[in-house]
Chains A and B, each alone.
Chain A
Amino acid sequence: MENKSIISISRLIKRFPMGKDEFTALRDISLTFTEGEFAGLIGPSGSGKTTLLNIIGSLDVPTEGEALVLGRSIGKLTTREAARLRKENIGFIFQSYNLLAVHTVYENVEFPLLLLNIPSAGRHKMVMDALEWVGLTDKVRSKPPQLSGGQCQRVAIARAMVKKPSLVLADEPTANLDADNSHHILQTMETLNRELKTTFIFATHDDKVISYLHRKIFLLDGRVDKDEIIRSNKR
């Protein structure tokens, strides 16, 4: 059975003001992502991969063209609608983890569920399940400064996955990790992609991440240079 498209990007252009001029970060991008993909936007710094990820994540809007994410046109969403889209459907994983430092591991993972007003009992089970996926059930009371980089990124994955979103966007998730931790993290995300059918889109130039991807989209100077499907996500 063909998987349905969850992201459809058509003739997308993104420009940023730069002094009196404009800088074009994305030029005429057209891409489609289907449910359950494990894809990556690959390219050197300045190629536009983070900008594209931000637009898909409704943190930014296209200058021209259209980005349809889960049926919603990003450029036409109000800030409230965009926030709702992120809250309900999108998980984010960042290079520097972006955990809330004064909160415990449990509270960090619980945060997206609080935003969704999930009742306390159900919330506890969901948090513990998410921590079990990443193997951190023994660290619930720890705070981020007490954890290693690998553990912090696993907390960030748990936070992104706890609400079982349709889409997880990971921006350079292994950039601050050593090889062992990177592989551990990537294996965890691949397992979650397989078991929960969550779509993962990475922005990376790390070979370790690239080796795990099922689809590689190479960006160069804001354009799609190459789009390779290594493994189909048909299940």
Chain B
Amino acid sequence: MKLAFKLAYRNLIGAGLRTWLNVIVLSFSFVVIIWLKGVMTGWDHQAKTDMTNWEIGGGQYWHEAYDPYDPFTLTESHAPLPAEFLPEVAAGEMEPVLITQGSIFPEGRMMQVIVRGINPEQTIFQLPTSVLDSATDAIPAIIGSMMAKTSRLKTGDYVTLRWRDANGTFDATDILICGIFNASVPAIDAGQVYIALDKLQEMMLLPGEATIVTFRSSNVPRQETAGWVLKTREELTRQVDEMIKTKSAGQSILYGILLLLAMLAIFDTQVLSIFRRQKEIGTYIALGYTRQQVVGLFTVEGSMHAVLAAFVAAAYGLPFLAWQAKAGWTMPVDTSEFGMAIAQTLYPVYSLGLVISTVAIVTVTTTIVSYLPSRKIARMNPTDALRGKLQ
């Protein structure tokens, strides 16, 4: 086997440009696959981190009637905080949020919004809630950049907010946009208006009540509480995993096409080698190789393309991948309208497992593709091969 590797190496290097063209195509597959998978992993990390920082913290308790996909549930989904939550709320380790429906009237148009009451002093989310404590002539509010774009509101704008209180009575007041934040989590931006929790409780006639309660740490063991449903961080980010899984499946087609191109080149080279090197095959047999050993030699030769490609990929791919991990990949289109937690710049995350599995898949595929045409050698007549007669 050692001899086969030695000979295969000599033959490959001796073949010159033909070898290097195949190796470069194959190395391109290595780098692109690792980079794309790295981008997906990076997106997964970024989406979960952003969701943690902006929306879900270490996990949440939802009022048992709350369904984020059904606004009608908002009327009923509120309750006083359970007594066991109060120490953590007081310590800032839990943040209650009251949620209700409302309408705003920017530039005379009516727009449905979700109004979220949040503690201005909270530190669990990255939301700039401290401005909600400002002393102004209207209720201070913050919105996300996506919401600002669709409503054409900007900092300093006044807008009328209408809502129904707990008794079903409509009421309205002006709110002042005190801040606009940038977040890559659409769920906390699109159609959302944030005001101070105590203000919303007062407006809703629901003092001390909340719809969801977010806790900071996901490491503290939590129990279900009557009337409240525990949602762990893993449950809340599961949709990201599902989305990444779907996207990854789509990307597999791209990997397949890349690999197919590289494998076509290898297959073609092998077929051409066997066609052109019949005399050489005959010579190997005359010198003492069995036909199976020649099959082995040609298979090793073909699969060694993958080994050389791994080195070539390392030479130009490592600096590229490292630079990408640092500088990130800025999406060419505005990601805020994608409707999913995706940052404008994605930072690929690579793992040793990713590199090893990619190299292993490409090498095994190359070996199989190299072996298939090489089987023809096993059926060759050595005396015809020696004469270079086509078989």
Contact = CB atoms under 8 A, between A and B. Distances in A.
Interface of A: 50-51, 54, 57, 59-60, 79-80, 83-84, 86-88, 92, 94, 96, 98, 100-103, 107, 111-112, 114-116, 159
A100 B279 CA distance: 9
B179 to A, nearest CB: 70
Contacts of A88: 288
A165 B160 CA distance: 103
A57 B282 CA distance: 13
A39 B290 CA distance: 28
Contact of A112 (B10, B14, B287, B386): B287
Closest 3 CB pairs of A and B: A102-B14, A87-B288, A98-B283
Contacts of B282: 98
A101 B287 contact: no
B14 A115 contact: no
Nearest to B381: A60
Contacts of B285: 59, 83, 86
B286 interface: yes
Given A79-B291, A84-B288, A102 B13 contact: yes
Contacts of B279: 96, 98
Given A59-B286, A102-B14, 9 more contacts: A79-B291, A83-B290, A94-B283, A94-B286, A100-B283, A111-B287, A115-B287, A115-B288, A159-B287
A46 B289 CA distance: 28
B287 A86 contact: yes
Interface string B201-244: 00000000000000000000000000000000000000000000
B274 to A, nearest CB: 16
Nearest to B382: A59
Nearest to A88: B288
A112 B288 contact: yes
A115 B289 contact: yes
B279 to A, nearest CB: 6
A113 B292 CA distance: 20
A77 to B, nearest CB: 11
Interface in B12-43: 13-15
Given A94-B386, A114-B3, A114-B6, A57 B286 contact: yes
B20 to A, nearest CB: 14
A87 B3 CA distance: 14
B280 interface: yes
B11 interface: yes
B290 A80 contact: yes
A87 B287 CA distance: 6
Of the listed residues B3, B286, B291, B383, the one surrounded by the most CB atoms of chain A closer than 10 A to its CB is B286
Of the listed residues B3, B15, B386, B388, the one surrounded by the most CB atoms of chain A closer than 10 A to its CB is B386
Nearest to A101: B14
A83 B288 contact: yes
Of the listed residues B280, B293, B382, the one surrounded by the most CB atoms of chain A closer than 10 A to its CB is B382
A86 B288 contact: yes
